[in-house]
Amino acid sequence: MKYSISRFIVSNIIKNIFPRKGTEYFVLVGFILVLLIILMAIFAPFIAPYDPIKKVGEILERPSGKFLLGTDGLGRDVLSRIIFGARTAVLVTFLAVSISLSFGVLLGLLSGYTGGKFDTVFSLVMDAMYSFPGLILAIVLAAMLGPGILNTAMAIAVIYTPTYFRMVRGLVLSLKESLFVEAARAIGAKDRTIVFKYIFPNVISSIPIVLSLNAADAVLTLAALSFLGLGLPAPTPDWGFDLRAGHAYLASRIWWPSTFPGLMIVILTLGFSLLGEGLNEILNPELRR
Amino acid sequence: MERKVELKVVNLKKYFPVQKSFLERLLSGKIEYVQAVNRISFEVRRGEVFGLVGESGCGKTTTGRLITRLIEPTEGKIIFKGEDVTFIQGERLREFRKYVQIIFQNPYASLNPRMRIGEATAHPLEIHGIATGERKKKMVFEMLEKVGLEPAKKFYDLYPFELSGGQRQRVAIARAMILNPELVVADEPISMIDVSLRAKILELMLMLKEERNLTYVFITHDLAVAKYISDWIGIMYLGEIVEIGRKEQIFSTPYHPYTKALLSAIPVPDPKREKKDIKLKGEVPSSINPPSGCRFHPRCSFAKDKCSNLKPSLKMVDKDHYVACHLY
């Protein structure tokens, strides 16, 4: 009995988790990185050794046994701050991606399927948004909306909405001319049924790739906004903000308050990118050369 | 015994505007049209099969899509069971779809790749609110078994990509037939299926026809298929019907030179038989600028002066047998 269970685990779980192809390792590594940071965000209060917004030691203490990654300019524990910073990063990224995904996909479906003037207007608006340099648009919006988690997420979401819109609209334009959609009309399906039962399920498979690549980008945009002081209000632990606060000390060779938050930004971005690129290669085998 | 007229098509016309670039539109002000279907008329009686035969590009598929109201006609009338359905919309159109169904040529494209077979077959029932729950499932099982997808339980949960072309076409037939329609337009339903399976699909369609007293408009480019399945045959050339009659009349005494050429192209399995092929000159002209007069005249070996000026209309040459040609 015991033997068979262990064999079951080996054959079905381990072999599925450790695939053999190179690109699949990309996905796996990306997935693990993202998962670790998400777990870190969820269990932050249990993992973090100190309160991230309280002065717990001397200012700018070197990494030591007491403060593994040292303390920052206000005497706060850097390790606790990056652990809690994961919450901000994950939450804002999640919100930004969900908002842009829902609006982009819904408008893309509607615009592509309806066509005509409605489509022309929406496409023009989205193209105009798309043609702005993303970060500058986000800076303007963040400055207008003011600090706060939801506001920052919305500022970031606006940049990525056109990506989904354009992708979905393009797919809908070709799918709505397809024979199976005509067949759906022949059996008397209403437009709503056609969009949600015939077109949408055929669009879904392209979303995860764009989603993870956008998430990677959103992490960077959030970091940039906080770096410029347009992110979240001050005491909230936030990688971009801490990077900014710590970079002043770099000249005095005090590297730890800025390096570790920066590293976290790199890790999360890398995780999402690997996931996206890997998924892209697996789901679109024709791109493989 | 004269059967009731199920479908009547009168002077049906469909012109598609040619898509032009902005610059081209700027240079030449006039809009050009593809004259896909040009004033065709015919009748189909209840329980009979009307075979619509012609080369690719002659407008047979467009005719099928017009009859099933998937595209809007430019002009003309479609009368189904005495009711003018040419321009009905909304609920009335949805009601009409219960009675008139279509089977498409390409079974690889006519099924939603993300919908299981059972779901796809059941969907018409849901749309028209005919059955739900267990009763719906039972009807789907029965239908799948009827079209030869056995065991139905197995096929119910499969996706289209797991099926062969022939099986997919059976699903398409099941989906069309589950509403118990009266008129079914079959648009080359066997041309994309393996030759070995074609006869089976035709037999299935004939079996369903006998059982349900169905009426078919059977579109095909293959005269041998038309001969097998049809009661009536209409020959189309460049968007027009050139000859129409009972199957026996078309095959024994064809009048139109085009029909004769088509018939001579059917291979005869007899090596001793002397071949007298009628070979057609040239290619099918463009339907954007079709030839004046009789559209067939540039390829016709019997063409007279009159043929290039005056368009022939359908004339009765025998009972139930009509031909559009100046020779008669």
Q: What is the 3-state secondary structure (H, E, C) of chain A?
A: CHHHHHHHHHHHHHHHHCCCCHHHHHHHHHHHHHHHHHHHHHCHHHHCCCCCCCCCCCCCCCCCCCCCCCECCCCCEHHHHHHHHHHHHHHHHHHHHHHHHHHHHHHHHHHHHHCHHHHHHHHHHHHHHHHCCHHHHHHHHHHHHCCCHHHHHHHHHHHHHHHHHHHHHHHHHHHCCCHHHHHHHHCCCCHHHHHHHHHHHHHHHHHHHHHHHHHHHHHHHHHHHHHCCCCCCCCCCCHHHHHHHHHCCHHHCCCHHHHHHHHHHHHHHHHHHHHHHHHHHHHCHHHCC
Chain A residues within 8 angstroms (CB to CB) of chain B: 178-180, 182-190, 193, 197-198, 201-202
The pLDDT value recorded for residue B24 is 76
Q: In whole angstroms, what is the distance from residue B54 CA to residue B241 CA? A: 9
Please report whether residue A236 resides in a domain. Answer: yes
Q: In whole angstroms, what is the distance from residue B215 CA to residue B217 CA? A: 7
Q: Do B102 and A190 touch (CB under 8 A)?
A: no
Mutation to test the A interface, candidates B19, B69, B96, B114, most A Cβ within 10 Å: B114
How close are the terminal C-alpha atoms of chain A, in Å?
46
Q: Coil, helix or strand for B129?
A: coil
The pLDDT value recorded for residue B32 is 84
Q: Do A180 and B113 touch (CB under 8 A)?
A: yes
- Cα–Cα distances in Å, from B281 out to A230, B106, B302? 76, 31, 12
Q: Do B70 and A185 touch (CB under 8 A)?
A: yes
Q: In whole angstroms, what is the distance from residue A71 CA to residue B18 CA? A: 72
Q: Do B112 and A186 touch (CB under 8 A)?
A: no
> How many domains is chain A partitioned into structurally?
1
Of A179, A197, A201, Cβ closest to residue B109? A179
Q: Do B124 and A187 touch (CB under 8 A)?
A: yes
Q: In whole angstroms, what is the distance from residue B10 CA to residue A282 CA? A: 54
Q: In whole angstroms, what is the distance from residue B221 CA to residue B201 CA? A: 17
How close are the terminal C-alpha atoms of chain B, in Å?
29
Closest CA to B220 of B168, B174, B266: B266
Residue type, A169: R
Closest CA to B169 of B117, B128, B127: B117
The overall average pLDDT reported for chain A is: 88
Percentage, residues of chain A above pLDDT 70:
90
H/E run at residue B33 = strand B33-45
- CB contacts < 8 A, A to B, total 60
Q: Is B183 in contact with B215 (CB distance < 8 Å)? A: yes
Per-residue pLDDT of chain B (328 residues; tens, 9 = 90+): 568 899 999 999 999 988 777 777 777 767 888 999 999 999 999 999 999 999 888 999 999 999 999 999 999 999 999 999 999 999 999 999 999 999 999 999 999 999 999 999 999 999 999 998 999 999 999 999 999 998 999 999 999 999 999 999 999 999 999 999 999 999 999 999 888 889 999 999 999 999 999 999 999 999 989 999 999 999 999 999 999 999 999 999 999 999 999 888 887 777 777 666 777 878 888 888 888 889 999 888 888 888 988 999 899 999 999 999 998 8
Structure-block tokens of residue B110: 């006519």
Q: How far is CA B85 from the centre of its chain?
A: 18
Chain A residue with the nearest C-alpha to that of B178: A187
Q: In whole angstroms, what is the distance from residue A59 CA to residue A77 CA? A: 9
Structure-block tokens of residue A288: 């493989």
Chain A residue with the nearest C-alpha to that of B184: A186
Q: Which residues pair with B323 in a beta bridge?
A: B243, B315
Closest CA to B203 of B221, B194, B187, B190: B190
Q: Is B112 in contact with A186 (CB distance < 8 Å)? A: no
Please report whether residue A99 resides in a domain. Answer: yes
Q: Do A201 and B112 touch (CB under 8 A)?
A: yes
Q: In whole angstroms, what is the distance from residue B311 CA to residue B294 CA? A: 5
Give B322 to chain A, closest Cα distance, Å.
32
Q: Order of strands, edge to edge, in the sheet holding B183-187? A: B100-103, B183-187, B215-220, B49-54, B232-237, B240-246, B321-323, B315-318
Chain B residues within 8 angstroms (CB to CB) of chain A: 65, 68, 70, 93-94, 97-98, 101-102, 104, 106, 109-115, 123-124, 127-128, 172, 175-176, 179
Task: Write out chain B residues lying below 8 Å of A196, CB-based.
Answer: none
* Burial of B196 per CB tally in 10 Å (0-12, 13-18, 19+): exposed
Q: Is A103 in contact with A118 (CB distance < 8 Å)? A: no
Task: Write out chain A residues lying below 8 Å of B175, CB-based.
Answer: 183, 187
Q: In whole angstroms, what is the distance from residue A277 CA to residue B41 CA? A: 58
Give A184 to chain B, closest Cα distance, Å.
9
Q: Do A183 and B111 touch (CB under 8 A)?
A: yes
**The domain B5-114+159-323 is classified under which CATH number: 2.60.120.10, 2.60.40.770, 3.40.50.300, 3.90.1150.10?**
3.40.50.300
Closest CA to B173 of B187, B158, B159, B162: B187
Give B85 to chain A, closest Cα distance, Å.
15
**pLDDT value at A190 more than 90:** yes
Structure-block tokens of residue B181: 């329609």
The pLDDT value recorded for residue A209 is 84
Please report whether residue A263 resides in a domain. Answer: yes
Mutation to test the B interface, candidates A171, A176, A178, A187, most B Cβ within 10 Å: A187
Q: Is B98 in contact with A188 (CB distance < 8 Å)? A: yes
Q: In whole angstroms, what is the distance from residue B114 CA to residue B295 CA? A: 44
Q: In this structure, what CATH number is given to the domain that contains residue A70?
A: 1.10.3720.10
Q: Do B97 and A183 touch (CB under 8 A)?
A: no
Q: What one-character DSSP code corresponds to residue B281?
A: P
Q: In whole angstroms, what is the distance from residue A73 CA to residue A249 CA? A: 8
Rg for chain B, CA atoms, rounded:
21
Give A262 to chain B, closest Cα distance, Å.
43
Please report whether residue A61 resides in a domain. Answer: yes
**pLDDT value at A18 more than 80:** no
Of B97, B109, B113, Cβ closest to residue A187? B97
Torsion of CA B228, B233, B235, B241, to 10 degrees: -160
Closest CA to A47 of A74, A94, A86: A86
Confidence of residue A1 (pLDDT cuts 50, 70, 90): very low
Domain that holds residue A273: 39-287
CB neighbours of residue A93 within 10 Å? 24
Give A177 to chain B, closest Cα distance, Å.
11
Percentage, residues of chain A above pLDDT 90:
64
Q: How far is CA A115 from the centre of its chain?
A: 31
Q: What one-character DSSP code corresponds to residue B160?
A: G
Closest CA to B16 of B287, B232, B265: B287
Residue type, B51: G
Confidence of residue A289 (pLDDT cuts 50, 70, 90): very low
Confidence of residue A2 (pLDDT cuts 50, 70, 90): very low
Q: What one-character DSSP code corresponds to residue B30?
A: P
Q: Is A283 in contact with A209 (CB distance < 8 Å)? A: yes
Please report whether residue A238 resides in a domain. Answer: yes
Chain B residue with the nearest C-alpha to that of A194: B112
pLDDT, tens digit (0-9, with 9 covering 90-100), for A21-37: 667 788 889 999 999 99
Please report whether residue A60 resides in a domain. Answer: yes
